[in-house]
Structure 1
Amino acid sequence: MLSRTLLKRILASPARFNSTPKTVVPFRFYSFTQAEQPRIRIGSTAPNFQVETTKGAIDFHEYVNGNWVILFSHPADYTPVCTTELGAFSRLKPEFDKRGVKLIGLSTEGVESHQGWIKDIEEVETNGDAFQFPIIADGKREVAYKYDMVTEDDFKNLQAGKPVATVRTVFIIDPAKKIRLIMTYPASTGRNTEEVIRVIDALQLADGKGIATPVDWTVGKEVIIPPTVSDEDAKAKFGDFRKVKPYLRYAKVD
């Protein structure tokens, strides 16, 4: 815990804040302890943070602003797997736009490094097209800490003040700022963009229609009627449906 005197000095320091609106001058966490780390679960409110990005300073909750958001992390700049991932997500931004989804990446380098890396991504992955979304500069690993995006060994290094890399974590956050899905990969394994789009479609359909989606579901396939819905109510809501077991019923939805 910070002493009251130290906290007053921090808040009073002219370097703590900048008079320019939404400019963030962060200071380092004084500890990275497991006891103080936010618990990130499905249904948690996404922790807020203020950071510099390649598109300027942001307040994350303001960035959400009633949209779905995908926040995904990368171990470091100028790394091969990350380069392919960021390029793929940039190319697919029109698909996310159709679904009302905003993208934001994160890497543990500064904005200047990110901007140089983006030039490489545009050269080798986007066919020269402009990169389409912001990348967070998390040099202090504060967002990585808040969202628990490091390995067990790297968490120990974080506590010791040593450099760490984030793992490949994907957070899908809804317009109410609730975390709805988490996918975490080791640093050696690239993500599947088709799966990210698939689960966005599944989450949005479930919210809009009150259904669940079965294994390997994609748009246009049958959905599952929740067991909490009676046969009578299912008939009224979905019309004809397919009953395999009392607890397993399929329907078509638009």
Structure 2
Amino acid sequence: MTETTPQTQSMPRINEPAPDFKAKTTHGEKKLSDYRGKWLILFSHPADFTPVCTTEFMGFAREADTFKAMNTELLGLSIDSNYAHIAWVRSIKEKFGVDIPFPIIEDISMNVASAYGMVHPGASDTQAVRATFFIDPEGIMRAMVYYPMSNGRSIAEFVRLMQALQTADANKVATPEGWQPGQDVIVPPPQTAPAAEARAGEGYNTVDWYFSTRKL
């Protein structure tokens, strides 16, 4: 049986602890604490055996090694039984030749989906929308991305976002729109008037006192 805290519909918030959970999955019981020391991408899908979800799961599977190289684990979820998950994974292997290497949470009770704000009544009262959560090695929510049921997510964007998050953390910088590894990063703007005055002489590519970039 799936357990989670809290058990009412809520909405997690960035830079706060991700909701705890303990859940049955296709790889045995999993808890949020199992992922301490690693990044976790927790993502929901509306239902097993649906075409858009199938393409997404194959996309995540193809990038699983890329995520693993970034110390990142994948964990799926839908409001379906473990048996349905197992049958669907086997079908994807048989029909498309793609192995799904990551676990999928059974959430018939909707406890995890409710704790993470995955159920949006305007879309469906009984299915989770396409929600994706980036949780850091300390269990802190770092990013959330929601898609409608009708449109598949871009797994390449999630790879890029994870690279950007880890780069920002490691170097105390920010990243611009569409940033890719190897491109310049944004230096945090000065916080005082004297610091703003000194910024132009600090060796960065400074367009204005608040906008400076540098190479890593």
- How far the C-alpha of 1:39 sits from its partner, in A, is 3.8
The match for 1:174 is 136
- How far the C-alpha of 1:27 sits from its partner, in A, is 7.3
Structure ranking higher in strand proportion? 2
Aligned with 1:149 (options 108, 118, 121): 118
Given that residues 72 and 104 in structure 1 are in contact (C-alpha distance below 8 angstroms), is that contact kept between their aligned partners in structure 2?
yes
TM-score computed with the length of structure 2 as normaliser: 0.90
| Identity across matched positions, percent | 37
**What do residues 161-193 of structure 1 show as CA deviations (whole Å, max 9, x unaligned)?**
xxx010000000001101000000000110001
> Which has the greater radius of gyration?
1
CA distance in 2: counterparts of 1:132 and 1:27, whole angstroms: 23
1:86 is aligned to 2:62: no
Given that residues 190 and 209 in structure 2 are in contact (C-alpha distance below 8 angstroms), is that contact kept between their aligned partners in structure 1?
no
Q: Pick 1 or 2: higher relative contact order, CA cutoff 8 A, min separation 6.
A: 2
CA distance in 2: counterparts of 1:66 and 1:199, whole angstroms: 19
Aligned with 1:250 (options 210, 213, 216): 213
- How far the C-alpha of 1:59 sits from its partner, in A, is 1.7
Aligned with 2:148 (options 186, 207, 212): 186
Query: What's the Cα RMSD here?
Result: 2.4
CA distance in 2: counterparts of 1:135 and 1:204, whole angstroms: 25
Given that residues 71 and 172 in structure 1 are in contact (C-alpha distance below 8 angstroms), is that contact kept between their aligned partners in structure 2?
yes
CA distance in 2: counterparts of 1:109 and 1:85, whole angstroms: 17
CA distance in 1: counterparts of 2:133 and 2:200, whole angstroms: 32
Given that residues 86 and 121 in structure 1 are in contact (C-alpha distance below 8 angstroms), is that contact kept between their aligned partners in structure 2?
no
What SS does the aligned partner of 2:74 have? strand
What SS does the aligned partner of 2:20 have? coil
The match for 1:195 is 157
What SS does the aligned partner of 1:49 have? strand
- How far the C-alpha of 1:152 sits from its partner, in A, is 3.0
What SS does the aligned partner of 2:118 have? coil
Unpaired runs of 5+ in structure 2?
none
Matches within 5 A, 1:1-254: 25-26=1-2, 36-62=8-34, 64-125=35-96, 127-128=97-98, 130-153=99-122, 157=125, 164-228=126-190, 230=195, 240-253=203-216
**What do residues 68-105 of structure 1 show as CA deviations (whole Å, max 9, x unaligned)?**
00000000110100001011111111100110000000
Would the alpha carbon gap of residues 133 and 28 (structure 1) be closer, same or farther in structure 2, given more than 3 Å must change?
closer
- How far the C-alpha of 1:150 sits from its partner, in A, is 1.5
CA distance in 2: counterparts of 1:74 and 1:53, whole angstroms: 15
Q: Give aligned pairs, total.
A: 212
CA distance in 1: counterparts of 2:10 and 2:57, whole angstroms: 27
Would the alpha carbon gap of residues 234 and 243 (structure 1) be closer, same or farther in structure 2, given more than 3 Å must change?
closer
- How far the C-alpha of 1:121 sits from its partner, in A, is 1.7
Given that residues 28 and 140 in structure 1 are in contact (C-alpha distance below 8 angstroms), is that contact kept between their aligned partners in structure 2?
no
- How far the C-alpha of 1:60 sits from its partner, in A, is 2.1
